[in-house]
Amino acid sequence: MQKKMEEKILRLYSPSTKAPRRMTSDSSELSRPTVVRTKNARRRRLEIRRLKYKCQTMMNITITENSSNGDKDKNLLHGSKPSNGLTDISLSLSSSSSKQTSLEEKDIVLAGFGEKTCKKNNDVESLTCMSHGLLSVIGRRREMEDAVKVELGFMVKGGENFNFYGVYDGHGGSRVAEECRERLHNVLVEEIVEDNEEGDGIDWGRTMERCFEKMDEEVNRGRVEEEMVGSTAVVAVVGNGKVIVANCGDSRAVLSRGGVAVALSFDHKPDRPDELERVEAGGGRVINWNGYRVLGVLATSRSIGDQYLKPFVICKPEVTVRELTNRDEFLILASDGLWDVISNEVACRVVRRCLNGQIRRKSLENIVNENRAAEAAAVLVELAIARGSKDNISVIVVELRKPTTFLP
């Protein structure tokens, strides 16, 4: 009997045999957390891989000879939306003498403009802009409804050049955003000319209000089935030592001044106390339906278009005018696809570090030496996507002076 017991014990614990049945049960219990961890790790790897391809950057730089002046012109390139539905980003640079090319690609536009001259008065820099970069991507949306516009020197007054920057976030379709991109800066020039026939100064508040009102009238002349199409608009005019920002909707403009993020516009959300009071005073209602919405439909209380929601949703912009100083570093204009996931302070910190050279994207470290504003715009967009933004994302970064210190 004792011999049989010894043989059984040896057989159970012999290294050449399998573990006993009672050990198998314990082992399976211990392996369950391992299986869960393995599944979670695989899920994370798939998500990272998906984001990697979503943000994949294609370096496709072309240098051509400018036939007019013989200088090399670094052409603007564009990205495209491949057949697999993923958005590729192409980087491009432009010298200071070149103009912005047509923004016909709706899914993505990335552009950078080189350094422009600045003026110094009494050792204080009052300059239009050194450079700018812009990026507009479809993100996780099925359709691209954002539009961006940059028009350098769109107006000359008193010997001063004025530059125009605009971000338009459409909803219900892209028609209104596209029309704003093509027309709003021209309507602004018409209003300025008309308003200054008898005077020298520009009343920016009144001029911007009339401009947005005329733009709203133009887009509302469309077909009946497009009455439910609209767009937010945030535009900035930089020139003559000033920055003028007009905002209608929930896009936003932010200025970095002396290392501090200064909001130049405030989102028109239906739950903003003064906007809520205005909508309800006009007989409308704000309903919390997947977020606060006017009549349970629109998540912004001001926009261009949206004729079916008049008079609750208005097109009147809020206008701010700021004198530029040598402490002003850069300006950011972006749609809510960025601001929904990134705060003003974080966005300014990222752009500042990009302009100072503290953040460099590996694929661009040997390319974007002349214009880091384009790189900053690309970094902001990629950060927004990584943080889970589900909207179209459009960003314009306007460099107001060359960085001289490395601020945190």
**What are the tens digits of pLDDT across the range 318-352?**
999 999 999 999 999 999 999 999 999 999 999 99
Query: How many C-beta atoms lie closer than 10 Å to residue 224's C-beta?
Result: 8
Cis preceding linkage at 311, omega within 30: yes
DSSP 279: H
Whether the predicted model's global pTM rises above the 0.75 cut: no
The first and second tokens of residue 70, run together, are 């013989």
Confidence (pLDDT) at 120: 38
Task: Tell me if 235 sits within 8 A of 245, measured CB to CB.
Answer: yes
| pLDDT on residue 227 | 85
How do the domains of the chain map onto residue ranges? 74-79+91-399
Tokens of 135: 């990026």
Give 181: exposed, middle or buried? Use CB within 10 Å, 0-12, 13-18, 19+. buried
Give the residue carrying structure tokens 């008065």: 121
The whole-number mean pLDDT for each consecutive block of 10 residues of the chain, a chain of 408 residues, reads 54 45 43 68 60 36 30 31 34 32 38 43 40 94 96 89 96 95 96 72 93 95 77 96 96 96 97 96 93 95 95 97 94 97 97 89 51 91 96 96 56
Task: Report whether 322 contacts 343 (CB < 8 A).
Answer: no
pLDDT for 404: 54
Task: Tell me the CA distances in angstroms from 234 to 168, 239, 256, 337, one per residue in order.
Answer: 7, 17, 17, 14
**Matching residue, tokens 């490395």:** 406
CA distance 68 to 89: 30
Determine whether domain 74-79+91-399 maps to CATH 1.10.1760.20: no
Q: How far apart are CA 310 and CA 384, in angstroms?
A: 32
User: Is 122 strand, coil or helix?
Assistant: coil
Listed residue (336, 337, 372, 357) closest to 407, CA to CA: 357
